[in-house]
């Protein structure tokens, strides 16, 4: 991203972090950091935003200016070069599930499991009767009995969905569409820009990736509702379609290809030289192998670049996205 900014010979960029962390603080060298006008952090939770303020301060101690926004739509688009980072942001956004049936597309809802027991509690002071649920598994997915405007709109939101066979289920995030459209407009704005979106997913729709995480383990999404992080794989093709009207360039590669192209093997050798204990060296190599594992994170995790199209180069791709997924030579740290 800093390389793209440098190639434009621009100054005073904005950096937007759609999943606030310290990634933005490590971008580029001193020349880049000294040119930053502002670091804009997008955080929908006021509680988390306050925690971030406590940890980061206002940025003055680092020569930076931190600003918080509750939505991407609030960030300025005022002629300043934009650099946007969205790290594991879209996988946490709400999804709808629709299924293609012989009678057309239907929404998939959450209903009560047959084993659920409803118990009426005694009337409260305002004479209302409440119900409580028993048993561990109380909910299940149910198919809507008929069509709905939402199911029809979601099915028509991408031309790729029309070819899905009968029985197919698709997870669709209209929230992701709306937010990505804003991102495209930001980067295509008067100041130009570049963006990097990193998440689990692929260039295709998913039908059964919706899952819960608790204590770093996958759990049933209906197990103790409210106690788990819910996530779904990102359809990067859907994000690219959302930005098509903004006329920006998008390129997708796997995490494995991105890291290999960015010199992870060189970085690995540097770390191994400074590691004095064999156990530490093994931990470092295992961590790198996990990041670029073809059967794991290396292929499951994707990087989407968003950039201004270059005049006279309709196929422009920023570095290291010149090679798409699968085109990078085989590498394995030893």
Tell me whether strands 38-42 and 14-17 are parallel, antiparallel or unpaired: parallel
Facing residues of 235 across strands? Answer: 202
Determine contact, residues 15/83, Cβ cutoff 8 Å. yes
Partnered with residue 213 across adjacent β-strands are 218, 229
Residues 6+ apart with CB under 8 A from 80: 12, 13, 14, 37, 191
Task: Give the per-residue pLDDT at 101.
Answer: 96
d(CA 48, CA 56): 12
- For the question of whether the overall pTM of this predicted structure is more than 0.85, the answer is no
H or E stretch covering 284: helix 278-292
pLDDT of residue 178: 95
Q: Name the phi and psi angles at 154, rounded to 5.
A: -65, -40
Q: b vs e for 148-176, b when ≥16 Cβ sit within 10 Å of the residue's Cβ? A: eeebeebbebbeebeebeeeebbbbbbeb
| β-pair type (66-69, 38-42) | parallel
**Which portions of the chain are predicted below pLDDT 50?**
11, 22-24, 135, 325-331
Burial of 5 (0-12, 13-18, 19+ CB in 10 A): buried
- Burial of 305 by CB count in 10 Å (0-12 exposed, 13-18 middle, 19+ buried)? buried
What pLDDT score was predicted for residue 326?
44
Torsion, Cα 14 88 159 82, to 10 degrees, reads 0
Name 217's bridge partners.
Answer: 214
Q: Are 228 and 214 in contact (CB under 8 A)?
A: yes
SS3 state at 19: coil
Q: Name the β-bridge partners of 195.
A: 84, 306
Please tell me the predicted confidence (pLDDT) of residue 284: 95
Look at residue 301 and give its three-state secondary structure. Answer: strand
- Cβ count within 10 A of residue 271: 15
Two structure tokens written together for 237: 């093709």
Q: Which helix (H) or strand (E) holds 134?
A: strand 131-134
Q: How many residues appear in the chain?
A: 334
- In which residue are the tokens 């119900």 written? 131
Q: Give the position of tokens 């937010």.
A: 179
Helices (H), 120-231: 149-155, 174-187
Question: Radius of gyration of the chain from Cα atoms?
Answer: 23
């Amino acid at each position: 991203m800093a390389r793209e900014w440098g190639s434009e010979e621009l100054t005073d960029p904005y950096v937007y972090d759609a999943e606030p962390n310290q990634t933005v603080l490590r971008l580029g060298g001193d020349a880049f950091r000294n040119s930053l006008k502002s670091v804009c952090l997008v955080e929908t939770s006021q509680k988390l935003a306050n925690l971030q303020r406590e940890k980061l301060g206002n940025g003055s101690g680092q020569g930076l200016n931190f600003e918080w926004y509750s939505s991407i739509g609030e960030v300025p688009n005022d002629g300043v070069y934009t650099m946007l980072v969205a790290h594991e942001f879209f996988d946490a956004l709400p999804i709808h599930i629709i299924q293609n049936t012989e009678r057309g597309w239907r929404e998939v809802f959450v209903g009560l499991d047959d084993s659920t027991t409803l118990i009426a509690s005694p009337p409260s002071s305002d004479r209302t009767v409440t119900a409580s649920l028993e048993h561990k598994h109380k909910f299940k997915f149910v198919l809507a009995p008929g069509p709905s405007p939402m199911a029809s709109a979601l099915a028509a939101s991408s031309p790729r969905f029309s070819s899905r066979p009968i029985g197919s289920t698709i997870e669709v995030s209209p929230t992701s569409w709306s937010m990505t459209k804003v991102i495209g407009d930001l980067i295509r704005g008067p100041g130009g820009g570049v963006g990097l979106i990193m998440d689990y997913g692929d260039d295709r729709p998913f039908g059964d990736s919706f899952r819960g995480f608790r204590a770093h383990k996958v759990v049933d999404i209906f197990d103790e509702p409210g106690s788990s992080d819910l996530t779904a794989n990102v359809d990067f093709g859907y994000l690219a379609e959302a930005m098509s009207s903004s006329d920006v360039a998008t390129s997708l590669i796997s995490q494995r290809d991105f890291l290999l192209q960015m010199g992870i093997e060189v970085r690995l050798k540097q770390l191994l030289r400074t590691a004095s204990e064999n156990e530490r060296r093994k931990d470092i190599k295992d961590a790198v192998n996990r990041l670029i594992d073809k059967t794991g994170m290396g292929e499951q995790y994707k990087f989407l670049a968003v950039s201004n199209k270059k005049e006279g180069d309709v196929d422009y791709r920023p570095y290291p996205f010149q090679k798409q997924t699968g085109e990078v030579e085989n590498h394995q740290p030893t």
